Amino acid sequence: MAVTDFDDFASSRGPALLRFAYLLTGDAHAAEDLVQEGLARAHLRWSKLQHFDLPEAYVRKAMLNHYLSWRRRRSSTEIAVARPPDSAAADSDAAERVAVRHDLWRLLLTLPRMQRAVLVLRYYEDLDDEHIAGLLGCARPTVRVHVARALQRLRAALPEPNHPLEV
């Protein structure tokens, strides 16, 4: 079934695109900008895209390309951080889970763009190596190298064994 109205597409798929962008950028405002860029590119080509079954694939590819583009990178000194939770959990286990999640998120934000993009595509989008390689324009072994290096960096950054982040 082809999508015919751009506004309907943008409003129905916007939240999913925003989640994808947030996972890539780690910053709500940068994620909104990334979605806007992807939708703007799709809007320019909508007369052709509306006839395809999955115009969302085009938008995600445009967002990924924009995110990975070296011309649009932030200064290497800037690091986006997630906001702390608004209210403290009464349950100490819930508070600990929030703290662990926050720590893991901060570790993910330290990864280089390509490694974080590969992890998002693999574990959030549930894509296999072949699809990721196609999106990134690289070979399947390169995807596996990026995943291995990203996971190695995350493991190396994990705190001492007594810490709740221990896997």
| Architecture of the CATH domain 92-157 | Orthogonal Bundle (1.10)
Band the pLDDT of 92: cuts 50, 70, 90. Answer: low
Average pLDDT, the chain: 81
Identify the pLDDT of residue 76: 45
Query: Percentage of the chain surpassing pLDDT 70?
Result: 78
Return the DSSP state at 113: H
Q: Is the pLDDT of residue 105 over 90?
A: no
- Taking only the tens place, the pLDDT of each residue in 53-83 is 788 889 999 999 999 885 555 544 455 555 5
Band the pLDDT of 4: cuts 50, 70, 90. Answer: low
Separation of alpha carbons 139 and 159, rounded Å? 33
Domain boundaries, the chain: 6-72, 92-157
**Per-residue tokens: 33:** 């900008």
Grouping H, G, I as helix, E, B as strand and the rest as coil, residue 2 is coil
Burial bucket for residue 92 (CB in 10 Å: 0-12, 13-18, 19+): exposed
Mean pLDDT of 47-58: 84
Mean pLDDT of 83-94: 54
Separation of alpha carbons 153 and 156, rounded Å? 5
Separation of alpha carbons 129 and 96, rounded Å? 34
**Per-residue tokens: 107:** 């570790």
For the chain, state the CA radius of gyration.
18
Q: Are 49 and 42 in contact (CB under 8 A)?
A: yes
Q: Which residue has the higher pLDDT, 39 or 51?
A: 39
- Taking only the tens place, the pLDDT of each residue in 124-162 is 888 999 999 999 999 999 999 999 999 999 888 876 655
Q: Are 36 and 25 in contact (CB under 8 A)?
A: no
